[in-house]
Structure 1
């Protein structure tokens, strides 16, 4: 690595694809990357500690969202607050901000040798810290987005709605604001209790419709970890499912078939751990608009115990819990019954 410790400072309000480009470019050039998240005044609804947690989730567990070069680079993401850290106001002059960061770094034993930024203030800031500077896409040509524009869009300023797109905002981040970025292909989701024929139907339906389908990532991770999922894995599953959907969308034609959604992942979080991360709850809520059609497989097919499922008696409870959740969220759904061929025909009829 050209540098030992890199530094990125920003509001990340909200975190967007331009920020991801900055972080991933930086991570490819340093042995360790320190990221400071703060604003003063801050977002009262999603303050810096929350935004920092979102960033940690985006860069947890895999390289899908991180780009090809940052798999081994630790990202130390730290949120600062006015109460705990005595932040200067955003309106303070450059020297005040530079000196604040300089003193904070010294008091915590950090000595970055390079600063990465996408802003004009970057070179002077780096010089004040005695560090090198790397400028990343300052003209916003690679990712033409800004936090100011996104805040306006999230505040319902129609002039900036074009920024609420997966090119500019990761769907996991968008969901935290109750937003679902538009997609070129509508999505239908199949839900159902364990051993209700959901995955078999997904493959058959994709073939019948001549389109792509997205497997249930929770099942994949469950098997990889030999059934020993941790609480944090449930949020990870919800985030990865969205990324896999976006990855599959260019291969879809007419409809994208999705095997499960984040609402079901949230149910399993409560079932296994009796709690659910607020970020996963947000993913569950936007299922009301993420999927154009929702279908629920009745648990009427013969139960198959594959070594990963709970007891058969649990199926009826799971089915009832799924229906209760859909109705409480206000999500219309269609029940599917019969053979695989009959269920495919029922979906096709519902889609018109």
Structure 2
């Protein structure tokens, strides 16, 4: 039986991490209903909406309700006037969700006792010394790469820098993706390879065709919308798996490419990959490899008449229509790599920079 009816957890969740998850799960297990209130400041560089979304996804299907509330009031634990200002923001956040009474406040901070007293609620301290999960928002913001495994899964998906290399056949997309992966793996040892799944699928499909008919040739293969649906979903999953393990993703193609190849092999009327396109992950930058200056190489798996110039234009059109950021990379291998790394370095630096208001406190864990 639950000890309490309505419980409350408050925090910045900037970003939400394993310690927050432990606190919320411990509180939810002791309450009939738990309200988690994200108090976000305009001076913080992760939006309130994203923090609410990530926590809601983490606790989907549970008794946890996540509420976002802007709170730009300065922090001064010694001022009753400031306490009142914060309490009123919290009270209204709860009131707007129909919560007018609080039975318990759960926290890992000393301020929780004062907050609980102001609301006439019990205070339950959870892992004050951070022994169960030695992580804090401060640690995550100081070194997101080192703390990556402690950031909750939904947040990792959105916080990862995603760089997608796309292009028509034989335009050195794989060459550039491999060069970028090798370059950044020095700083990101967990950086995963995200290859073009469609190529492996082609190998497997042709092997199955030859098993059925030893005289089968590549041009005899019949492609279906179901093939491209499977390729698209698997490409998305490979990319998301890479984001789960590392804050940087370099992918050799994505589901946009799958959809364009479906257009080439089946025609405009085929929509097998459309669901995967609808579920395309958030990404930061596309690098389109230019067909000009790269001679076509027939490796036995490509069609000599593949419309490289037309497909390069399709990529530009599709990504522009989607509102995506893209760069056409041209020139030698060295020039392409230099163009790519210059912008990627800036994107990484921006993603790893967290702003805070001047009154924000830093959580220092024992032994850190």
**Residue 190 of structure 1 is aligned with which of 183, 191, 195?**
195
Q: Distance in 1 between matches of 2:139 and 2:125?
A: 21
Number of residues paired by the alignment? 246
Structure 2 match to 1:75: 64
Q: TM-score, normalised by structure 2?
A: 0.49
Q: Distance in 1 between matches of 2:64 and 2:275?
A: 27
* Residues 73, 86 of structure 2: 8 Å contact kept: yes
Larger radius of gyration: 2
Q: How far has the Cα of 1:119 moved from its partner?
A: 0.6
* Residues 115, 134 of structure 1: 8 Å contact kept: yes
**Residue 98 of structure 1 is aligned with which of 62, 78, 87?**
87
* Residues 31, 73 of structure 1: 8 Å contact kept: no
The answer on 1:281 being equivalent to 2:283 is: yes
The answer on 1:89 being equivalent to 2:74 is: yes
Structure 2 match to 1:306: none
In structure 2, the CA distance between the partners of 1:120 and 1:166, relative to structure 1 (3 Å rule), is same
Q: Distance in 2 between matches of 1:127 and 1:266?
A: 55
The correspondence of residues 218-237 of structure 1 with structure 2, limited to 5 A, is none
Q: Distance in 2 between matches of 1:274 and 1:120?
A: 46
Q: Distance in 1 between matches of 2:244 and 2:135?
A: 23
Q: TM-score, normalised by structure 1?
A: 0.51
**Residue 144 of structure 1 is aligned with which of 114, 134, 146?**
134
Q: Distance in 2 between matches of 1:79 and 1:109?
A: 14
| Structure 1 vs Structure 2 CA RMSD | 5.3
Q: Distance in 2 between matches of 1:262 and 1:31?
A: 47
* Residues 8, 104 of structure 2: 8 Å contact kept: yes
Q: Deviations over 1:122-147 (max 9, x none)?
A: 12211211222221111112222222
Q: Distance in 2 between matches of 1:198 and 1:59?
A: 40
Q: Distance in 2 between matches of 1:33 and 1:124?
A: 19
User: Which secondary structure state, in structure 2, belongs to the residue aligned with residue 173 of structure 1?
Assistant: helix
Q: Distance in 1 between matches of 2:95 and 2:104?
A: 15
* Residues 196, 253 of structure 2: 8 Å contact kept: no
Structure 2 match to 1:10: 11
Q: Which runs of 5+ in 2 are unaligned?
A: 163-184, 207-225, 261-272, 287-298, 303-309, 320-325, 334-368
Structure 1 match to 2:39: 38
Q: Which runs of 5+ in 1 are unaligned?
A: 61-71, 154-160, 202-218, 247-257, 286-297, 302-315, 333-352
Q: Distance in 2 between matches of 1:11 and 1:242?
A: 27
* Residues 195, 252 of structure 2: 8 Å contact kept: no
**Residue 104 of structure 2 is aligned with which of 93, 114, 137?**
114
User: Which secondary structure state, in structure 1, belongs to the residue aligned with residue 8 of structure 2?
Assistant: strand
In structure 2, the CA distance between the partners of 1:122 and 1:266, relative to structure 1 (3 Å rule), is farther
Q: Distance in 2 between matches of 1:30 and 1:95?
A: 26
